């Protein structure tokens, strides 16, 4: 009996728990780099509008500090604690989306997508809450459904789960980009959870055919009406709409082209001088290219690649399915958003408002992204290292 107790005690001593310092370092680096680029990209506009060239920097710094504090709290609470709130989170995210229509809703840049937080100058974007809650809810559902996720019935059910949120965000807030990101997160999580990839191949081919048909119809139509349709035509030929829908895209391409290999130098961008709209937000990658050149752009892409690689390692070694699916959801969210942001800036896809994670200006975005990182770090801490 004493020998068995001694063996159990020895096993406990030999078991260590993992903390991913590499992941934390990459996130901190991206946050710090983001603050530098936000100040560089926004200082001129902030001085003109607010009389303080550090206006956007200060607000983002406060959001970063709040996000990091929340991240550390989440990282120290066992992630299974949040599983019991998965359904509640789904309902709350839907309620918050419709609260945009109430007097609490805030309109900015011609869009009503925010909720004013009483007593503060900060606004909450319900779409960011919905992304986090959707990851949590889908991870919970994958665990409950088990192998039935791979069946056609389970597959269709999992794809139907995000649709009410996706439709609400598109119709209520008119935020197509966030709706597509949430749908993309769901598809990615179901793809990882499902052993049968044939359905996804067929879906991808059908989607590509539908997009090609839409573009063909728009190009050959005698007249085009509608904001989205005009943006697609501006994407195909931005110079034909250089004073309208193609203006932002052309200015971004000018910034990228003028940066060359090594860039003009930090703070030396010309496009940020009120030529490029949303320079500190959706288009910050073009300012990175202009000031730091191709070298800086590749360096940032490599940092995001390393971040996703660390998440993949954590997901592969997660102690259970729920933890693995949480990490997969966060990985899918960041990957989709990074790819779409760079694709928009380089005119690879039609222009739509998508921020660059951890770098673009936006309080709600960075706070909820850091909460997601807290979940990933928490899953990583539950990985046992046995000697």
The 10s digit of each residue's pLDDT in 68-119 is 999 999 999 999 999 999 999 999 999 999 998 888 888 876 677 888 887 7
pLDDT at 226: 54
* Residue 307 CB contacts under 8 Å (≥ 6 apart), including other chains: 23, 26, 27, 30, 334
- Nearest Cα residue to 368 out of 358, 378, 359: 358
* Section 262-276 average pLDDT: 85
- Nearest Cα residue to 334 out of 293, 375, 296, 289: 375
pLDDT at 11: 47
CA distance 249 to 233: 12
Mean pLDDT for the chain overall: 85
Q: Residue 385 — pLDDT band, cuts 50, 70, 90? A: low
pLDDT at 288: 93
pLDDT of residue 65 exceeding 90: yes
Q: Residue 387 — pLDDT band, cuts 50, 70, 90? A: low
* Section 54-58 average pLDDT: 91
pLDDT at 231: 67
Residues 314/298, Cβ–Cβ less than 8 Å: no
* Residue 222 CB contacts under 8 Å (≥ 6 apart), including other chains: none
- Of 203-217, 219-233, 324-338, 359-373, minimum mean pLDDT range: 219-233
Q: What is the largest CA-CA distance in the chain?
A: 88
- Of 102-116, 124-138, 233-247, 353-367, minimum mean pLDDT range: 233-247
- Of 73-87, 186-200, 211-225, 345-359, minimum mean pLDDT range: 211-225
CA distance 14 to 210: 56
- Of 30-34, 309-313, 347-351, minimum mean pLDDT range: 347-351
pLDDT of residue 154 exceeding 80: yes
């Amino acid at each position: 009996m004493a020998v068995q107790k001694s063996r159990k005690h020895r096993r406990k001593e030999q078991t260590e728990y993992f903390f991913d310092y590499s992941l934390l370092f990459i996130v901190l680096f991206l946050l710090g780099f983001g603050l530098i680029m936000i100040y560089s990209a926004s200082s001129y506009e902030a001085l003109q509008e607010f009389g303080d060239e550090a206006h956007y920097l200060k607000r983002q710094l406060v959001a970063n500090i709040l996000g990091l504090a929340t991240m550390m709290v989440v990282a120290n609470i066992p992630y299974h604690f949040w599983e019991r709130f998965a359904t509640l989170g789904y309902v709350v995210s839907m309620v918050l989306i419709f609260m945009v229509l109430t007097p609490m809703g805030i309109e900015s840049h011609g869009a009503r997508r925010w909720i004013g937080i009483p007593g503060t100058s900060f606004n909450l974007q319900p779409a960011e809450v919905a992304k986090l809650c959707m990851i949590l809810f889908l991870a919970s559902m994958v665990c409950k459904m088990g192998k039935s996720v791979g069946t056609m019935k389970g597959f269709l059910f999992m794809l139907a789960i995000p649709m009410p949120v996706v439709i609400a965000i598109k119709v209520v807030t008119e935020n197509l980009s966030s709706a597509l990101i949430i749908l993309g997160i769901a598809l990615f999580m179901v793809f990882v959870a499902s052993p049968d990839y044939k359905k996804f191949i067929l879906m991808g081919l059908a989607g590509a055919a539908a997009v090609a048909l839409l573009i063909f119809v728009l190009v050959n139509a005698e007249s085009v009406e509608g904001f989205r349709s005009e943006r697609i035509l501006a994407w195909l030929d931005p110079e034909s709409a250089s004073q309208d829908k193609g203006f932002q895209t052309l200015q971004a391409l000018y910034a990228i082209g003028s940066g060359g290999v090594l860039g003009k130098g930090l703070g030396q961008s010309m496009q940020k001088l009120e030529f490029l709209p949303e320079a500190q937000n959706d288009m910050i990658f073009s300012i990175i290219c202009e000031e730091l050149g191709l070298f800086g752009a590749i360096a940032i892409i490599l940092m995001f690649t390393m971040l996703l690689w660390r998440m993949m390692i954590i997901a592969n070694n997660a102690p259970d399915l729920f933890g693995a699916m949480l990490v997969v959801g966060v990985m899918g969210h960041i990957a989709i958003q990074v790819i779409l942001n760079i694709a928009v800036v380089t005119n690879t896809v039609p222009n739509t408002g998508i921020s660059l994670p951890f770098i673009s200006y936006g309080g709600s975005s960075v706070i909820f992204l850091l909460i997601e990182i807290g979940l990933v770090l928490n899953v990583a801490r539950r990985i046992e290292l046995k000697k």
